[in-house]
Amino acid sequence: MRRCGCLAVFVFAIAASVRIFAQTPAALKGLSADLSRYYFKTPADEVAARAELNLALAEMSRYKGQLNSAHQLLGALRQNETVQNLFAKHEGYLHLRCSQNRKDPACDADKALESDVDAKTAFLDPEILAIPEDRLRGFLTAEPALASYGFALTDIRRDKLHVLPEAEQRLLDQFQPQIGDWQYDLYQQVVAGISFGTVETSSGPLDVVRQRNLIAAHGDGRVREEGFKRRYAGFASQRDLLAFALIHTVQAQNLLAKTHHHVDAPARKYESLYCEPEDTRSLLAAMAQHGDIAKRYEKVRSLDIDRDYHQPAHAWDMSAPVQELSPPGTSLLDARHIFHEAFAGLGKEYQSEFDALVDPANGRADILPGGAANRYGGGFSIGFDRGKSILFFGRYDGTFKDLSVIAHEGGHAVHRQLMTANGVPPTYDHGPSFLFESFAAFNELLLADFLAEHAGSPELKRYYRERWMSIKGLDAFYGAQDALLEQAIYDGVVAATVRNADDLDRLTLKIDGEFSLFPASTPELRTRWAMVSLMYEDPLYDVNYVYGGLLALKYYDLYTTRREWFVPRYIALLKNGFNQPPKELLHQFLGIDLSGPALLNDDLELLSRRLDQLEAN
């Protein structure tokens, strides 16, 4: 009965929630996290409690230079967990307060505490690496309790071949800002100095950069085109300096990789994700060969535009609104009902965890309709061992994208909670980003699908199906486009075929042309390399979106075809933590082979079926 009641509420919500959103004052209040209940009573209490953390750090420092017995090694690993646990509670608290108000002193305190803890625990990994192999084997035999740290030790020691003598590493660390960090600083400064300007609209000017999403989704094609062209022209106006910063990023990363005895920077990155560099390179190449899947979606959107606007679609029209369909806004109250229903298929345990997270009585979510000055606009979750996880979302406007962000970040929070409830120690509560992100992205697929299934009209159903495809369905392919471009730039710099902005333009048009219809006819797109800021900020990170996206689709595939088999295994994987390499975890719990061709092939089949559906309508 309860299920039916909820269903009635949200179907109504989807049909007419713009009105509900506007009319319910309670819905505008938002949710606030009760930090005093789960973290510290007051900011002063948090400061006072740092004494305990400092004591733990002092205790930790007693192990420095003393990892000379099984007993000492076990003591250091255990003490490190105590430190990380205490720190996570402070860090989460300060980070959340800082996000509520960017001018809060918590922001500086958070950074200071983090670098203090990092500095005082930095000796552990190099000292573990320095233990000779046979000695460590002896420790493991002598002290059975070390067995539970087995994977953590292997994880640290797999870097063995790449470690530099301490003095060399210290020197490199000291010069890191001048070797590898200045390029992103320069990028930010150059971009900040570009005057992109505004686009005039019937309701006033829109900022080309800050309001680019509003411009891209504007109903007036002239606004979309002008915004697009001004943004590309802005980046092109500084192409030489931006190319200089990018090529120096690549040179620095390749040099650092070689200094650490890796073949090159891409190999170093792929290995850090527990992937064989050749496997990752072949995967990216195979995805480019199947880049047509992303082009098919562009064709679907182009036909929508043709039909709605009676003119051919351009690169800047892909987010144009469907005529006469204003997707409904959703109040927070209705959003909670939607999440309750959307995650029902994941079983009672997951569903109740998500319900508990967004239940106002629990004070575990901080979501503010309309946002606020000085409040961080994005979303994240925090959590620590023995504490409750908390979800933060800076600005809620009731759009579908907002619901999707809550499904994603709430997914991280529920995942943390499931690990905590299962007693996963801090050593194993974090893992490779792509695996972490795959779980959150899967929630977004479930949400879009659920809204499509329960949409009140065929137009709205199509709208959510297209969002399913564009927000997460094709994520792996958009990620592959960026990862392949980045890899090609690294290869090109080594081969001296990429030396300036012209070379970067050429490479961008070639690779983007494999995934998109527009580069051939839209010369502006050649400057896209300058807009992929992640290449400067976090070199080679993009490949995480490839694996994360492919896995989320595979979970979705298993969820829809073998739900009874999949769900208990998936929940067990979430609860397990990261005590093995990702490949092994995926194989053991879900029978997924991360390096074989089946993952991509199964996903392609799924995407193709979903595109058939969109093309048929």
The two beta strands, 379-382 and 365-369, are unpaired
Closest distance of CB 467 from Zn ion, Å: 18
AA letter at 94: L
Smallest separation, CB 344 to Zn ion (Å): 22
> Which lies closer to Zn ion via its Cβ, residue 437 or residue 503?
437
Nearer to Zn ion, 296 or 412 (CB): 412
Nearest distance from C-beta of residue 367 to Zn ion, angstroms: 16
Contact 328, 18 (CB under 8 A): yes
- Cβ–Cβ < 8 Å for 355, 336: yes
Regarding 546 and contact with Zn ion (CB under 5 A), the answer is no
Burial of 200 (0-12, 13-18, 19+ CB in 10 A): exposed
Q: At which residue do the structure tokens 């799924």 appear? A: 606
Work out how close the CB of 573 gets to Zn ion at its nearest, in angstroms, rounded to a whole number: 17
Three-class SS of residue 168? helix
Q: Is 365 helix (H, G, I), strand (E, B) or coil?
A: strand
Closer to Zn ion by CB, 196 or 384: give it: 384
Cβ distance to Zn ion smaller for residue 223 or 405? 405
- Applying CB under 5 A, does 365 fall inside the site for Zn ion? no
Q: Is 261 helix (H, G, I), strand (E, B) or coil?
A: coil
CB 540 within 8 A of CB 594: no
Task: Quote the least distance from Cβ 160 to Zn ion, whole Å.
Answer: 31
**How many residues line the site for Zn ion (CB under 5 A)?**
2
Quick check: 440 binds Zn ion (CB under 5 A)? yes
Task: Compare residues 435 and 483 and give the one whose CB is closer to Zn ion.
Answer: 435
CA distances from 319 to 191, 281, 471 (A): 24, 31, 11
Rank residues 271 and 409 by Cβ distance to Zn ion and give the closer one. Answer: 409
Contact between 406 and Zn ion by CB under 5 A: the answer reads no
Q: Are 39 and 89 in contact (CB under 8 A)?
A: yes
Residue 357 Cβ, how far from Zn ion at the closest point, in Å?
15
For Zn ion, which is the closer residue by CB, 226 or 402?
A: 402
CB of 224 within 8 A of CB of 316?
yes
Beta carbon nearer to Zn ion, 440 or 558: 440
What residues are paired with 369 via a beta bridge? 396
Q: How far is the CB of 224 from Zn ion (least distance, A)?
A: 29
User: Which residues between 420 and 439 bind Zn ion (CB under 5 A)?
Assistant: 437
- Whose Cβ is closer to Zn ion: residue 392's or residue 490's? 392
Residue 242 binds to Zn ion (criterion: CB under 5 A): no
3-state SS, one letter per residue, for 371-406: CCCCCCCCEEEECCCCCCCEEEEEEECCCHHHHHHH
Task: Tell me the H-state helices in 454-581.
Answer: 458-467, 475-494, 501-515, 534-537, 543-561, 563-576
Query: Closest approach of Cβ 540 to Zn ion, in Å?
Result: 18
According to DSSP, the residues that pair with 393 across neighbouring strands are: 367, 379
CB atoms closer than 10 angstroms to residue 540: 23
User: Which residue's C-beta sits nearest to Zn ion?
Assistant: 440
Q: Which C-beta is closer to Zn ion: that of 76 or that of 440? A: 440
**What letter represents residue 109's amino acid?**
A
| Smallest distance, Zn ion to C-beta of residue 309, A | 35
Torsions phi, psi for 269 (to 5 deg): -65, -50
426 close to 85: Cβ distance less than 8 angstroms: yes
Query: Closest separation between CB of residue 533 and Zn ion, Å?
Result: 18
Kindly state the smallest distance separating residue 11's Cβ from Zn ion, in Å. 29
Residues 401-427: b if buried by 16+ CB within 10 A, e if exposed: ebbbbbbbbbbbbbbbbbbbeeebbbb
Nearer to Zn ion, 437 or 449 (CB): 437
Residue 207's SS3 state is: strand
Contact 274, 581 (CB under 8 A): yes
Q: How far is the CB of 408 from Zn ion (least distance, A)?
A: 6
Nearer CB in complex with Zn ion: 273/293: 273
Task: Sheet containing 379-382: give its strands across.
Answer: 365-369, 390-396, 379-382
For Zn ion, the binding residues (CB under 5 A) are 437, 440
